[in-house]
Amino acid sequence: MAIEKTDVVIVGVGAAGGILAAELGKAGMKVIGLERGPRLATEDFTPHDELRFFQRQDLRPNIKRQPVTWRPNANVRATPLPVLNYGNQAGGGTVHYGSVSWRFHEDDFRARSHTIERYGSSAIPQDSSLADWPLSYADLEPYYDRAEYELGVSGKAGNMQGNKIDGGNVFEAPRRRDYPLPPLRDDQSGVVFRGAAKKLGYHPFPTPRAILSQDYNGRHGCTYCGFCQAFGCHVGAKSSNPCHQAARSRRDRQFPISHRRDVLSRQQRQQRPRHRRGVLRSRRLGQHDRGRARHSEPVHLRQHAAAAAFEDG
């Protein structure tokens, strides 16, 4: 049983894991990523294989080999979910997602308070977990802005620091600057829909997408092949983690990814210092090895731990 020392172990190199790895690598930390699936490259998607990716859903977990069950309560027999839409490779769901890149609206952060103000407290069931966020849109706006420019989001602003801009989403929360790239071109149905919506007095606008409308930061722009949702991008125009964050981390040599690993024990306490944790991982042939890190807690556990400090969520 081999033990590999590192600063951080990330279990699952998906949308969150890939970005965390990139940022920690930039800070000089050594990171090891454990990923159940393979790491695919842009050339793997060149054939536009609809049978493999759309019908057989090769980019998603196999529901027969990796079933996930669900039941509404303890008195009902659990049944396997027929479809699992998250990813099964480095980059997770960012490989096959449609790349729609919305920001939350200001009201989304006050769901509980807004509901009570509008409908009264009786509108919320007593056992509901609905809660306000412990932060506001204004707190997150700088990070929205940074993410859009890091990833390369194409779109058109409609609310620039309170100034409404025709052609953009005039109902969005205020932003400090426009998107880094112009919106993707409309197809013919989009052109017809836009014209009809304007005649009716509505405000059509292009959907913001993490797809490059033109070359950006060394990556090629979209070729408008139409194979976005359910497929990986054959030119790397879609801002999935393999094309963006994970690739940057690997170039920094701070983030080796160990593929085709299933984590058997997320935390294995050692008899040594309390701040060290063990992560047991399995290989395809049944052999086992272990990585030891200073920080290996799952991301969602840390998020919940932080939120627990706030009484209302």
Residue 256 included in any domain: no
pTM reported for the whole predicted model: 0.78
* Average confidence (pLDDT) over 23-40: 84
What is the bridge-based pairing of β-strands 262-269 and 159-160? unpaired
Using one digit for the tens of pLDDT, what is the confidence trace for 100-109?
A: 999 999 999 9
Separation of alpha carbons 153 and 213, rounded Å? 8
Separation of alpha carbons 173 and 209, rounded Å? 17
Residue ranges making up the domain that contains 155: 101-210
Answer yes or no: is pLDDT of 67 > 70.
yes
Separation of alpha carbons 176 and 51, rounded Å? 43
Mean pLDDT of the chain: 81
Between 285 and 37, the higher pLDDT residue = 37
Instruction: Write the single-letter amino acid at 111.
Output: A
Answer yes or no: is pLDDT of 78 > 90.
yes
Answer yes or no: is pLDDT of 284 > 50.
no
Residue 26 included in any domain: no
Q: Residue 12: which pLDDT band, with cuts at 50, 70 and 90?
A: confident
The two tokens of residue 247 are: 């690739």
**Rounded percentage of the chain residues whose pLDDT exceeds 90:** 43
Q: Residue 308: which pLDDT band, with cuts at 50, 70 and 90?
A: very low
Between 262 and 90, the higher pLDDT residue = 90
Cβ-contact 239, 152 below 8 angstroms: yes
Instruction: Write the single-letter amino acid at 266.
Output: R
* Average confidence (pLDDT) over 257-266: 56
So what's the pLDDT on residue 183? 97
Residue 286 included in any domain: no
Residue 121 included in any domain: yes
Nearest C-alpha neighbor of 42 from the set 216, 255, 256, 220: 220
- Domains contained in the chain, number: 1
Using one digit for the tens of pLDDT, what is the confidence trace for 178-232?
A: 999 999 999 999 999 999 999 999 999 999 999 999 999 888 999 999 898 888 8
User: Which span out of 45-49, 196-200, 296-300 was modeled with the highest average pLDDT?
Assistant: 196-200
Cβ-contact 50, 40 below 8 angstroms: no
Q: Residue 248: which pLDDT band, with cuts at 50, 70 and 90?
A: low
So what's the pLDDT on residue 258? 63
User: Which span out of 11-20, 220-229, 268-277 was modeled with the highest average pLDDT?
Assistant: 220-229
Cβ-contact 217, 181 below 8 angstroms: no
Answer yes or no: is pLDDT of 244 > 70.
no
Residue 206 included in any domain: yes
**Rounded percentage of the chain residues whose pLDDT exceeds 70:** 76
Long-range contacts of 278-285 (CB under 8 A, 24+ apart): 279/9, 279/11, 279/34, 281/34, 284/260
